[in-house]
């Protein structure tokens, strides 16, 4: 049974105007195949299946049916098959204590997905999402914390479901959160409690907070963060108390939702482009691009009338705090904004349409590059007014051509190479740059 009602009305918060009905049919078919055949992880180390991300991004960027098929085909050979359903287990998930007892394990991803899909049919997906993520219950807080785990992949997957209004993908996103750990719970809840005790006027910009982390070498000690190149979230989650205090300074009121959304997109993109190693070839940090790629969904969340303003603000607060943690845990690289402005693209005069066309023709991407290009194009649009406004300009360091400069960096530094050499992993660590060529 087809479960992906793709249509032009819900084609993303950023999309090109030239989307064809043939592309709609193709992306729906491929999403259905992924949904029926593949697990959320493609291996047993917790590496994520990106098929949904890549397909919907390419679709929004105007990929034709053959380009969509290529994007899918080049990432199918290594996927892990879904496990068969356990109907007895699915029935038992209605029991709250039993539901919680299986959190953190990926063996039941398919069962949780089916559980949520069936609840959606009975209660409406908006009501179920509010109950299981935003109600403030013990289960809701557990799942909301886990949504930010796995280098933000559950948030990204869930975000695609919300942005494109696809209940089956929303169910997968919730099930993906179930599979992840709650390692970030102490950091997120401690910084939230601390923020609630502070005065509103003590709130700081993300740019200032990145600088505050950089100025305190104790916060990005290489031994503490396991070299900055690790996916070991237990290490990342053991954030120093001082880092919680800094994260608590990032606060969002319901009156600031739009401007704070734009600020997150701007600051994370700027951080990603500026985190270079002088003397080394240009590379973007693998972990930082996830902070950027997840930020586009904040715009999608803000458009949801069923989601309260308070919960939209809370999502923005948690996202900004995770971005600060991400920066520190990658050894807080020195940021060089001039590397963005002075960058010379390999192919000059590339406009967004030309960059997007080039992105759609990639034959080695797994979605990371395409997601980054789309988010940067979206970010330029929503940040333009704030970049030029005297009251907000300082909080928006990435301006005008900077967006397309970073997009060119992304294309230029990944076109001829494959994982892991497309990205630097932990841009603040000198040893993480050793395998890359000297510049010039």
Per-residue model confidence as pLDDT tens digits over 74-88: 999 888 888 899 999
State the burial class of residue 230 (Cβ atoms within 10 Å of its Cβ: 0-12, 13-18, 19+): middle
Q: With cut-offs at 50, 70 and 90, classify the pLDDT of residue 239.
A: low
Is 187 in a helix, a strand, or coil?
Answer: helix
Question: How far is Cα of residue 352 from the mean position of the Cα atoms in its chain?
Answer: 21
Q: Give the contacts of 409 (CB within 8 A, at least 6 positions apart).
A: 273, 282, 284, 340, 343
Q: Residues, the chain, total?
A: 440
Taking the complete model, does pTM exceed 0.75, yes or no? Answer: yes
CA distance 278 to 402: 19
Strands (E), 232-313: none
Of the listed ranges 29-43, 82-96, 425-439, the one predicted with least confidence: 29-43
CA distance 364 to 250: 37
Residue 402: how many CA atoms within 13 Å on its side-chain side? 26
133 close to 147: Cβ distance less than 8 angstroms? yes
The listed range with the strongest mean pLDDT (28-42, 60-74, 342-356) is: 60-74
Q: Which residue has the tokens 């179920």?
A: 128
Query: What is the arithmetic mean of pLDDT over 224-252?
Result: 81
273 close to 402: Cβ distance less than 8 angstroms? yes
Q: Could you tell me the two tokens for 135?
A: 């109600």
State the burial class of residue 390 (Cβ atoms within 10 Å of its Cβ: 0-12, 13-18, 19+): exposed
Query: What is the arithmetic mean of pLDDT over 220-236?
Result: 77
- pLDDT of amino acid 303: 98
130 close to 306: Cβ distance less than 8 angstroms? yes
- Tens-digit pLDDT profile for residues 340-391: 999 999 988 778 999 999 999 988 888 999 999 999 999 999 999 999 999 9
CA distance 165 to 403: 27
């Amino acid at each position: 049974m087809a479960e992906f009602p793709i249509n032009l009305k819900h084609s993303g918060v950023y999309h090109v105007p030239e989307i064809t009905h043939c592309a709609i049919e193709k992306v729906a078919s491929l999403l259905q195949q992924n949904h029926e055949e593949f697990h959320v992880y493609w291996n047993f180390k917790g590496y994520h299946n990106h098929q949904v991300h890549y397909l919907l991004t390419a679709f929004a960027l105007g990929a034709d049916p053959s380009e969509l098929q290529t994007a899918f085909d080049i990432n199918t050979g290594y996927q892990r098959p879904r496990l068969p359903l356990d109907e007895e287990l699915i029935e038992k998930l209605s029991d709250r204590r039993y539901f919680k007892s299986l959190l953190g394990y990926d063996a039941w991803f398919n069962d949780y997905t089916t559980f949520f899909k069936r609840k959606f049919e009975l209660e409406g997906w908006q009501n179920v999402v509010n109950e299981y993520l935003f109600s403030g219950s013990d289960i809701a807080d557990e799942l909301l914390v886990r949504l930010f785990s796995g280098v933000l992949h559950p948030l990204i997957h869930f975000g695609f479901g919300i942005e494109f209004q696809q209940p089956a993908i929303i169910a997968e996103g919730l099930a993906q959160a179930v599979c992840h750990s709650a390692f970030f719970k102490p950091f997120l809840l401690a910084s939230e409690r601390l923020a609630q005790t502070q005065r509103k006027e003590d709130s700081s910009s993300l740019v200032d907070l990145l600088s505050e982390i950089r100025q305190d070498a104790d916060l990005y000690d290489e031994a503490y963060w396991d070299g900055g190149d690790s996916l070991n979230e237990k290490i990342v989650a053991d954030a120093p108390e001082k880092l919680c205090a800094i994260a608590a300074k990032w606060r969002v009121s319901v009156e600031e939702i739009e401007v704070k959304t734009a600020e997150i997109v701007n600051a994370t993109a700027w951080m990603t482009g500026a985190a270079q190693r002088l003397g080394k070839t240009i590379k973007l940090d693998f972990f930082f691009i996830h902070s950027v790629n997840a930020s586009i969904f904040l715009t999608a969340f803000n458009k949801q009338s069923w989601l309260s303003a308070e919960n939209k603000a809370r999502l923005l607060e948690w996202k900004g705090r995770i971005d600060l943690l991400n920066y520190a845990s990658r050894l807080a690289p020195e940021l060089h904004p001039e590397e963005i402005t002075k960058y010379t693209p390999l192919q000059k005069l590339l406009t967004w349409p030309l960059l997007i066309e080039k992105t759609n023709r990639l034959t080695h991407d797994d979605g990371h590059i395409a997601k980054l290009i789309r988010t940067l194009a979206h970010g330029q649009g929503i940040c333009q007014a704030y970049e030029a406004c005297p009251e907000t300009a300082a909080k928006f360091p990435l301006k005008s051509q900077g967006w397309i400069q970073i997009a060119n960096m992304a294309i230029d530094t990944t076109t001829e190479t494959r994982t892991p050499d497309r990205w630097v992993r932990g841009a603040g660590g000198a040893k993480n740059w050793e395998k890359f060529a000297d510049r010039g």
